[in-house]
Amino acid sequence: MSSLYKIAILPGDAIGPEIMAQAVRVFGVIEAHRDLSFELTEAPFGAAAYFAEGKAFPERTKAICDAADAILKGPVGLSFEESQKIPLAEQPERGAILPLRARYNTFANFRPVCLSRGMAHFSPLKPTIIKDGIDILLIRELVGGLYFGKKERGTDTAGKRYVHELLEYTEDQVRQVLLVAFEQARQRKQRLHNIHKSNVLMSSVLWNEVLDEVHRDYQDVEVIPLLVDAAATALCLNPGQFDVMVMENMFGDILSDQCGGILGSLGLMPSACVGPEKAYYEPSHGSAPDIAGKNIANPYAMIGSVAMMLEMSFAMNKEAKLVWDAMQGVFADGYSTPDLAASSDAMQVVSTEEFGDRVITRLDAALAEASA
């Protein structure tokens, strides 16, 4: 009997449905060449869900996600002005993304920062800095810290407004993500950059203590501590020094977007959000309301998130590699969406859909050749 993989599809908002339409085509091509099936079930999520059903993460979407082997999520969110039309608790970030992460305890967020040699010219950094490309794995803790800590707003006796927002971590929460990072470092170059701020934050002091304990079982891995502010500079001046980087939630949010800038576009940042039982996959970038509806968004991160799912949830390493190769082949042929076109006069600008067409044509040919 051939295998069946159940996937929940959450298209999301703004450019979400546009890039998701290209990403899901990958499943169809693989099915056509392999003795397996993907069962895709689409469900509303984010602002679209709120306007249609009154909830950013409706109960029926939760049930579809619960029943799925893996979840593919498009970006959600609206422009700042449009967001104000939704009550705070149902805005897609608070009402959908964070509850999704909490529901499946997706504590380990894998954000690969990669430019192959043929894509090196996409970076705004000088060729002398980028050299043959970039290959960093940023691991971000995803269910703790400030984003999930207790929050309180109030007014003091003098009538002044105040806010308390707690940065909370337990040692177990810290240990579980560090274990993932050490394992990745062991499998890669045995080098782990620990990004922290222990000169100020007690949370970083605890983080570093736990790191020392975990390190005892990973003596083959060299740990290089780096303060987060210095890391921001080092990423621009010498990204080649990094292999695996690990950090808490907010540091990872900010530095991963900086990494998108170093690559040349946020559209080049896929991700995997991994929990003990389930993982979901999404681009690291947002819903880009400024370019929505124009068929110009870069679908690379969304399609790359499918490649990460194939490898990490379904152990389809060969198929995943063919997806990356197909996308890089399209760039090598000289085609890109407009976000990357400024990097070279020789690039021909294509739409979201045409980029998808070209990836699918290449993937189809590669899969046919691989099974011949």
Judged by beta carbon distances under 5 to 8 A according to partner kind, the member of ligand IPM, Mn ion, ligand NAD, none in contact with residue 78 is ligand NAD
Q: Which is nearer to ligand NAD, 156 or 290 (CB)?
A: 290
CA distances for 321 relative to 200, 247, 326, angstroms:
42, 27, 9
Is residue 185 classed exposed, middle or buried when 0-12, 13-18 and 19+ CB atoms within 10 A define those classes?
A: buried
Whether residue 332 contacts residue 118, with contact meaning beta carbons closer than 8 Å, is answered with yes
| Chain residue whose CB lies nearest ligand IPM | 93
From the list ligand NAD, ligand IPM, Mn ion, none, partner contacted by residue 311 (C-beta under 5 to 8 A by kind): none
Q: Rounded CA gap, 264 and 363, in Å?
A: 24
Query: Which one is catalytic: 212, 229, 318, 333?
Result: 229
CA angle 33, 6, 180 (to 5 degrees): 100
Least Cβ distance, residue 100 to ligand IPM (angstroms): 10
Catalytic site includes residue 135: no
Pull the structure tokens for residue 1: 């009997």
Q: Is 253 noted as a catalytic residue in this protein? A: yes
Residues between 58 and 77 that touch ligand IPM (CB under 6 A): 77
Q: State both tokens at 341.
A: 């076109």
Residue 201 CB: number of other CB atoms within 10 A? Answer: 15
Enclosing H/E stretch for 367:
helix 352-371
Q: For residues 372 and 350, what is the distance between their CA atoms, to the nearest angstrom?
A: 31
The crossing angle, in degrees rounded to 10, of helices 171-187 and 202-215 is 50
Interface pick for ligand NAD out of 77, 145, 252, 275 (rule CB under 6 A): 77
Active-site option among 197, 280, 281, 339: 197
Q: Please identify, using beta-carbon distances, which residue of 77 and 133 lies nearer to ligand NAD.
A: 77
- Which single residue is written with the structure tokens 């880009």? 288
For residues 121 and 189, which CB has a smaller minimum distance to ligand NAD in the complex? 121
Instruction: Rule CB under 6 A: choose which of 194, 298, 305, 336 binds ligand NAD.
Output: 298
Residue type at position 186: R
97 or 245: whose CB is closer to ligand IPM?
A: 97
132 flagged as catalytic? no
Is 321 a known active-site residue? no
- Which residue bears the tokens 């067409």? 357
- Catalytic site residue 73? no
Rule CB under 6 A: is residue 304 a binding residue for ligand NAD?
no
Cβ nearer to ligand IPM, comparing 77 with 144: 77
Tokens 């040919």 map to which residue? 365
Residues making contact with ligand NAD (CB under 6 A): 75-78, 93, 97, 265-267, 282, 285-291, 297-298, 301, 339
Residues making contact with ligand IPM (CB under 6 A): 77, 93, 97, 253, 284
